[in-house]
Structure 1
């Protein structure tokens, strides 16, 4: 008698936050863009606007409070302000479920979430996002990394409202030439630019840590794309990476971030996986 393999159940997804990235991911998943992955619920600050958006999806889903997402999904994608990460992630980690974190910088200030995942059996995923070469960094970290330095240039509107600019009274309005607004390490950058520099935190977590990953940030009216140049020196390779990321509807975030999340979900369900 021929045996028929049991069908693997769909991976149920909840999305917390419906900004430009959350909406893009929701639209792709609702129309079945990733086989074996099903969008089941979303959460947003304004439920009325969220319901209007959900009504446009190929398959409408539930609009819930953050606290109610866990019972509806196996994995939550955090697309919300960084301050909400613990509230979003904790129920899923305690239930031994999965979290995809986009506000990566918040992990530096909430190490208890990483400890919780380890102790409870949950999993935290950090997608590649706007960072090419993350696989190379992870591989280099198996040996000795001597130095990591990154220079970021963004249109001034992409940095507007950052806590570091407000705290230090740095004015970037009406710039006619590039202005350096920060120089320091990844931990300080994550604190001063929580909506802008998740890319450098991912780099730091994959490599030599946030204190030893150095960064310059420039507000540059001459650029129209979020540009990151990274130089890594290690005992296995020396490499330089430059990315010019097209902003999403939110100028603080690149369009490729949503695509990176979709690629991660596709890889989770694939029987053929490329990359470290």
Structure 2
């Protein structure tokens, strides 16, 4: 299976290196897409088998599956050619799927598939199962170290000085739809939770800055007719990008392994 990687930041670069090492059976790296030639060249220097640097359209044609690990603003530029070509699109910027029913329709027409990687959130299996019945409420609380939020545009626009923070502070609260407008790069976990459950308008979210933390923390509370459950995860931040958890790239690798796995555990 030919795998393309679009975006070679902390997540994309790790997935590309894993594919290059042969960590994923029956999958090979078909190419990468990067914003700068310098960054692409640096990654290729560390691969056993350097690959072509392609634009989005070329990457879609050369691959059976493309992994999206891009800044939110570039999501549509990649998603449309991949789905138009009838290929698999593995999405990490789940927030960019909110309100994009046109992409789902495009995939329906061409035979493409959109797969949302679980990223930094556990328990999506339980949420999917609960959604077969009736879910009553879903609430997600995201707590991040100062480094993970200090450069967020919303924080700058609001004049919030997180560097002087001495105790936890709620930065924003509302529906996932509302929070996603202000934090498109920080709500991918919540977007995935909302897509698996009640939808973005009915899923409540809070974002907190916490100077006592060194890890991103996500907690989810769900009530439903089948079960009530609480999930919490503390992700170790990537050394390359403190706003991204190490487990995010590994969730993509785990998803790729499922394509050819004889035994699959979980729904």
Residue 36 (structure 1) aligns with: 26
| 2:216 matches 1:226 | yes
| 2:191 matches 1:206 | no
Name segments (4+ residues, structure 1) moved above 4 Å.
none
- Identify the match of residue 68 of structure 1 among 58, 70, 81: 58
- The 5 A counterparts of 1:63-102 are 63-102=53-92
Give secondary structure in 2 for the equivalent of 1:62.
coil
Whether contact under 8 Å (1:162, 1:194) holds in the other structure is: no
- The 5 A counterparts of 1:1-276 are 11-248=1-238, 249-276=240-267
- How far apart, in 1, do the equivalents of 2:39 and 2:233 lie? 34
How many residue pairs were aligned? 266
- How far apart, in 2, do the equivalents of 1:101 and 1:271 lie? 24
Give secondary structure in 1 for the equivalent of 2:257.
helix
Which whole-Å deviations, capped at 9, do the CAs of 1:170-206 have from their partners, x for residues lacking one? Answer: 2212211111101101112222111211000000000
- How far apart, in 2, do the equivalents of 1:212 and 1:227 lie? 21
Superposition deviation, residue 228 in structure 1:
0.9
Superposition deviation, residue 244 in structure 1:
0.4
Structure 1 unmatched runs, 5+: 1-10
TM-score between the two structures when normalised by the length of structure 1 = 0.93
Whether contact under 8 Å (2:144, 2:210) holds in the other structure is: yes
Superposition deviation, residue 52 in structure 1:
2.2
TM-score between the two structures when normalised by the length of structure 2 = 0.96
- How far apart, in 1, do the equivalents of 2:174 and 2:29 lie? 39
Residue 7 (structure 1) aligns with: none
- How far apart, in 2, do the equivalents of 1:110 and 1:16 lie? 19
